Amino acid sequence: MSWNDGLDSNQIAAASYNGTHARLIAGPGTGKTLTLIRRIIYLIEELNIDPEKIVILAFTRTAKREIFRSLRTLSSHLKIYPNWKKSPNRGK
């Protein structure tokens, strides 16, 4: 499995963007959370960014849970093992 499996061209462009700031504007159900998750994997796999240096912000608890669940699942498939075993308790 690769970081870009199943992404469309717009999602690939967003996930692999190499600028300093990015804003993703899209409607409900368009894959924003999936794109964010794949961007994190891209940063780790392709750019060798230390997972401890990545800050993830989510506006809802549901999004936070989905992000951490997906990262835990993907990290075992991709053979990367950052400290995603447990979601942080901030913003319970």
Q: How high is the mean pLDDT in each 10-residue block of the chain (92 residues)? A: 90 92 86 90 89 83 86 70 53 47
**Is residue 86 in a domain?**
no
Q: Is 37 helix (H, G, I), strand (E, B) or coil?
A: helix
**Is residue 1 in a domain?**
no
Residue pair 7/38 in contact (Cβ under 8 Å)? The answer is yes
Task: Identify the pLDDT of residue 83.
Answer: 58
**Is residue 89 in a domain?**
no
Distance, in Å, from the CA atom of 47 to the CA atom of 6, rounded to the nearest integer, reads 20
Task: Identify the pLDDT of residue 92.
Answer: 47
**Is residue 16 in a domain?**
yes
Q: Which domain holds residue 62?
A: 9-78
Task: Identify the pLDDT of residue 12.
Answer: 95
Distance, in Å, from the CA atom of 41 to the CA atom of 71, rounded to the nearest integer, reads 8
Domains identified in the chain, total number: 1
Residue that the structure tokens 């499996």 belong to: 5
Distance, in Å, from the CA atom of 89 to the CA atom of 92, rounded to the nearest integer, reads 6
Neighbours of 37 (CB within 10 A): 22
Task: Identify the pLDDT of residue 69.
Answer: 86
**Is residue 92 in a domain?**
no
**Is residue 67 in a domain?**
yes
**Is residue 52 in a domain?**
yes
